[in-house]
């Protein structure tokens, strides 16, 4: 058995000890990793165990721990039910970190086996974020030739020459002359690679000073990616509990706190 599984069994034992204390059974001691001989003479290793006597009869509780990433199967429940029958006068609990298959739940109900989820609660999260910033330069507008000719005719011009500069928030228009998108919005949402990029802009128009709206074919842009200052931080949980036990059938929840006590609220004030 790996150390990870052993630690999980000890957590399950601790949370059940706290629940017994919470329910007023302060003299019952929960044990970890117990060997019990059944009526058949076979020995059984029990992950978590406690017992008490009443009216001359010994009542036992056996807990099987499944530190699984996948759901507990019906076959696991069936195997555990056989162990309980061999031990006699034994209540059964299966604890897991994951979930239970439907058949496992039905068989557990039939055999009066309690199914629970026991998991650590995340008390703090340390995070480190490396922002990747983007910038662009050398933006070049490629105009639709037919649209450019129409603009020249519309304005009574034979040719048109000018140097123009458009800021990133400058709008690109649709065919109706309405703002369709801002230049920097278009560039930042186009998943451009570092270096030279060409964007299809045939559905957009640029309002050129002295010409009016002229349809674009494409925009060429040089994209630069660089790492900004890393962002580090810590998120603390508002809850004092460090583990939780959830009953699958009864749907009740209890919390294990740092001092070993168990309550039905996440904060142990």
Q: How far is CA 162 from the centre of its chain?
A: 54
The pLDDT value recorded for residue 2 is: 55
Strands 90-96 and 57-66: parallel
Q: Is 103 helix (H, G, I), strand (E, B) or coil?
A: helix
The whole-number mean pLDDT for each consecutive block of 10 residues of the chain, a chain of 269 residues, reads 83 91 83 95 96 84 94 96 94 94 95 94 76 81 93 88 76 93 86 88 92 93 85 74 86 85 79
Strands 195-200 and 113-120: unpaired
pLDDT in tens, 153-176: 999 988 888 776 777 788 999 999
Structure tokens at 78: 């069936």
What is this structure's pTM?
0.60
The pLDDT value recorded for residue 129 is: 82
Distances (CA, A) of 131 to 82, 197, 227, 234, 252: 56, 22, 6, 17, 42
Strand partners, 133: 226
Q: Max Cα separation, the chain?
A: 113
């Amino acid at each position: 058995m790996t150390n990870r599984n052993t630690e999980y069994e000890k957590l399950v034992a601790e949370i059940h000890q706290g629940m017994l204390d919470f329910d007023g059974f302060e003299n019952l001691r929960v044990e970890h990793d117990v060997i019990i001989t059944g009526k058949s003479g076979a020995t059984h290793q029990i992950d978590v165990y406690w017992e008490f006597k009443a009216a001359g009869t010994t009542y036992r509780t056996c807990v099987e721990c499944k530190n699984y990433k996948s759901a507990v199967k019906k076959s696991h429940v069936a195997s555990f039910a056989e162990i309980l029958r061999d031990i006699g006068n034994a209540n059964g609990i299966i604890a897991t970190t994951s979930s239970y298959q439907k058949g496992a739940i039905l068989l557990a109900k039939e055999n009066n086996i309690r199914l629970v989820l026991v998991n650590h609660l995340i008390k703090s999260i340390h995070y480190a974020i490396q922002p990747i910033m983007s910038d662009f330069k050398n933006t070049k507008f490629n105009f639709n030739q037919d649209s450019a000719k129409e603009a020249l005719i519309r304005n009574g011009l034979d040719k048109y020459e000018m140097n123009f500069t458009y800021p990133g928030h400058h709008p690109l228009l649709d065919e109706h002359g309405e703002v369709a998108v801002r230049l920097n919005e278009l560039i930042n949402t186009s998943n451009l690679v570092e270096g030279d990029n060409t964007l299809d802009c045939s559905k957009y128009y640029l309002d050129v000073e002295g010409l009016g709206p002229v349809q674009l074919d494409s925009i060429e842009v040089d994209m630069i990616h660089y790492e900004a200052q890393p962002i580090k931080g810590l998120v603390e949980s508002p809850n004092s509990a460090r583990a939780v036990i959830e009953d699958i059938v009864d749907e009740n929840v209890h919390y294990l706190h740092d001092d070993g006590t168990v309550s039905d609220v996440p904060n142990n004030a």
